[in-house]
Structure 1
Amino acid sequence: MDVTMKDVAKLAGVSLSTVSRVLNDSSLVREETALKVKKAVEKLDYQINDSARILRTNTSNLIGVIGAGMEHPFLANLLKGIEAEAREKGYALIYGDSDGEFEKEQNYLNIMKQKKIDGIILITTNYYNDLLNIVKNYQIPVVFASGYISDPEISCVTVDNVAAAYDIVEYLCRAGHKEIAFIKGPDLDLLASQERLRGVKLALRMSKIKYDSQKFIEGDFTFESGYSAAAKIIDRFPNTSAIFAFNDEMAIGAIRYLAEQQIKVPEEISVVGFDGIEMGEYVKPSLTTIKQSGYELGLKSIELLNKIIEGQEVEDNKVFIPHKLVVRESTNKLNKLNLKKEVENTKLN
């Protein structure tokens, strides 16, 4: 037979209402009495009925996480940060991988609403107004952990993708590179990838380098897409002196292709990435990149979400985590071979 609250009350010598207050961490119960109840709960191995508790308190201590492509190293670290901080604050997680598909995201939102979750972390590459409207209508606290969202009602935690992309392209331009090709994220990624594109355009304009949309090859943030994009770049733009991939995995895929073609990195082509995953430090040559902490992104997302759930004052619902340009072996100043090509092309023109 299952142990009930009545059994706990009888053993502790208190009323049912006192047991309920202790189980709900009420401050109205004296410490000595609370200790008796807790000992009775432990002795009887009383299991709290979650459904009943949710009805009583209107809280579940559950946070939903809807993500896309969490097998990627950066996003896996983000999830670790979410888990660690959620555990610290007494939350359990429900996770669903949407593959970046709106229908799946909508379905998970419906499921999580039925579970009476306290809040949601959304990690999506696709930005839909319909998704924002659903989130608002549900009236569940939500934090986006995938990019900057200008809507004042929506809370988000992100790196400043525009500034970070600007920094790494400016670095390449200052190193003397003018023939830069890019491996961007999917066209459907209207958050991080589009923000990085804005930073690239700004840096090129400030460096007086003409923007050429043909030099932006679409990838999908995987090693394979970086490999195939690099092949297209070398075929279409043989004078390329640098490649900027919008994440580290695509950059590493590009380096693999260049190595197979016996194109030396960085002597002939410099390669840079974005995210700062651990693998980039150990690939040969080690990868120059924009480093951001996925773990900190996850941690800050839970911190912000918890404040919203508890009704605390939030001074700014747009939180930026820091980024850093990390220069390693995959870049150097413009090599002599490409510099010679530039001089020859100038004479011909």
Structure 2
Amino acid sequence: MNPTIKDVAKRANVSIATVSRVLNNLGGYSDKTKQKVNEVIRELGYQPNAIARGLINKRTHTIGVLFPNVSSAFSSDILQGVEDYAHGRNYSIVVCNTDDDGKRTLKYLQLLREKQVDGIIFSSSVLKEEYYEAIQAMNVPVVLVSSESNYATVPYVKVDDCLAACDAVEYLIGKGHRKIAMISGGKEDVLAGSPRVDGYLRALQKHQIPFDSRYLVYGDFRFESGCIQFEALLQTVPDVTAVFAASDEMAIGVLSAAYKLGIRIPDDISVIGFDGVQLSNMVVPPLTTVSQPLQEMGKIAAETLIRSIETGETAEGIIVSHSIVERQTVRTLT
């Protein structure tokens, strides 16, 4: 028979309420008592029942996290930051892969409602009205990561995508490049697609470089589209000297396609990515990129959400800083 909270209290010679307070980090006990209770929990192999705890404190200490592509390096880095902070506060994570499908997102929100999660982290997708209404009906807080919404009460954690893209292109211009192509995300993507294109155009205009639409192509932020769109660029603008890819995965696709075509990076063409995922430092040559602090963004999102869960406070949106990480895929033109 599995040990109960009563068994823990009896063995530790404390009240059931004290054991509950230790489990929920509520304070009101000495360090010696906490140590004794945790020692008994380990000895008995006691596993707290999240639902039973929820009946007592109205919480399950569970957070839902929704990603459109949970297998991407981008999502993985954010999730690492979320988990590191949440687990340190004794919260569990339920990860949902929405796959850019509205129906799947609503199904996952219903699942999270049934599991009585305490809050939701919504990443890299537009918070549509139907999603917002579903979360409102759950009566739990939500925090957006790498996303924004039209709802003033919904906090977000993100970089300034337009400014970061502008800085990436200005970095290439500073290295002497003027024939600069961009592989963007989707045309309809208002979160990271159009703002990064705006940054590209702003940098060209600032340095009086005429915009040529042939140098701007659209992918979907993923590896395969980087390969395909780079080959398309070579057909239409063979004089290109540098490529700004709106994600590291697409930039790595460019490196792969260039290798297969016998094009040397950066000797023949320079490449800069966007995101700063861990994989960008593992490819050959290591990728120069405009980096978002993805793990830190995940940590901030989890911290913001848990604070809202525990205090009822509504946080404001947070813009985090980006940085240019120089590696080996950009050369200076002489």
The TM tier, using the shorter chain, reads 0.7 to 0.9
Percent of aligned pairs sharing the same letter: 33
> Does residue 16 of structure 2 align to residue 19 of structure 1?
yes
CA distance in 1, matches of 2:39, 2:247: 53
| Secondary structure class of the residue paired with 1:310 | helix
Contact 1:304 1:317 in 2 (8 A): no
Contact 2:143 2:304 in 1 (8 A): yes
Q: Determine the structure 1 residue equivalent to 2:54.
A: 54
CA distance in 2, matches of 1:143, 1:205: 35
CA distance in 2, matches of 1:71, 1:281: 18
Contact 1:127 1:189 in 2 (8 A): no
Bigger-Rg structure (1/2): 1
Q: CA deviation at 1:94?
A: 1.0
Q: CA deviation at 1:247?
A: 1.1
Deviations 1:5-29 (A, max 9, x none): 6666666777xxx414531446667
Q: 1:46 to 1:185 in 2, by over 3 A?
A: same
Deviations 1:20-48 (A, max 9, x none): 45314466678898888777766665554
Q: Determine the structure 1 residue equivalent to 2:316.
A: 317
Q: Determine the structure 2 residue equivalent to 1:207.
A: 207
CA-atom RMSD in angstroms: 2.9
CA distance in 1, matches of 2:186, 2:250: 12
Contact 1:158 1:320 in 2 (8 A): yes
Q: 1:248 to 1:8 in 2, by over 3 A?
A: closer
Contact 2:126 2:148 in 1 (8 A): no
Q: Determine the structure 2 residue equivalent to 1:268.
A: 268
Q: 1:45 to 1:222 in 2, by over 3 A?
A: closer
Matches within 5 A, 1:162-181: 162-181=162-181
Deviations 1:254-273 (A, max 9, x none): 12222333333333322111
CA distance in 2, matches of 1:153, 1:163: 24
CA distance in 1, matches of 2:147, 2:194: 10
| Secondary structure class of the residue paired with 1:272 | strand
Q: 1:50 to 1:219 in 2, by over 3 A?
A: same
Deviations 1:92-120 (A, max 9, x none): 11111111212111111111111111111
What is the letter of the counterpart of residue 332 of structure 1?
R
| Secondary structure class of the residue paired with 1:192 | coil
Q: Determine the structure 2 residue equivalent to 1:289.
A: 289
What is the letter of the counterpart of residue 180 of structure 1?
I
| Secondary structure class of the residue paired with 1:52 | helix
CA distance in 2, matches of 1:35, 1:119: 29
Deviations 1:158-184 (A, max 9, x none): 122121111011122233323221111
Q: 1:274 to 1:116 in 2, by over 3 A?
A: same
Q: Determine the structure 2 residue equivalent to 1:344.
A: none
CA distance in 2, matches of 1:281, 1:183: 20
Q: CA deviation at 1:216?
A: 2.4
Q: Determine the structure 2 residue equivalent to 1:233.
A: 233
| Secondary structure class of the residue paired with 2:243 | strand
Contact 1:19 1:37 in 2 (8 A): no
Matches within 5 A, 1:130-141: 130-141=130-141
Bigger shift: 300-309 or 187-196? 187-196
Aligned length: 331
Contact 2:66 2:97 in 1 (8 A): yes
Matches within 5 A, 1:12-161: 18-25=15-22, 47-149=47-149, 151-161=151-161
What is the letter of the counterpart of residue 210 of structure 1?
P
What is the letter of the counterpart of residue 259 of structure 1?
Y
What is the letter of the counterpart of residue 224 of structure 1?
E
CA distance in 2, matches of 1:13, 1:262: 73
| Secondary structure class of the residue paired with 2:51 | helix
Q: Determine the structure 2 residue equivalent to 1:277.
A: 277
Q: Determine the structure 2 residue equivalent to 1:308.
A: 308
Matches within 5 A, 1:240-251: 240-251=240-251
What is the letter of the counterpart of residue 324 of structure 2?
L
What is the letter of the counterpart of residue 288 of structure 2?
T
Q: 1:44 to 1:85 in 2, by over 3 A?
A: closer
Q: Determine the structure 1 residue equivalent to 2:299.
A: 299
CA distance in 2, matches of 1:158, 1:144: 8
Deviations 1:110-158 (A, max 9, x none): 1111111111111133453332333334321111112344532111111
CA distance in 1, matches of 2:302, 2:175: 39
Contact 2:50 2:61 in 1 (8 A): no
Q: Determine the structure 1 residue equivalent to 2:254.
A: 254
Q: CA deviation at 1:294?
A: 1.7
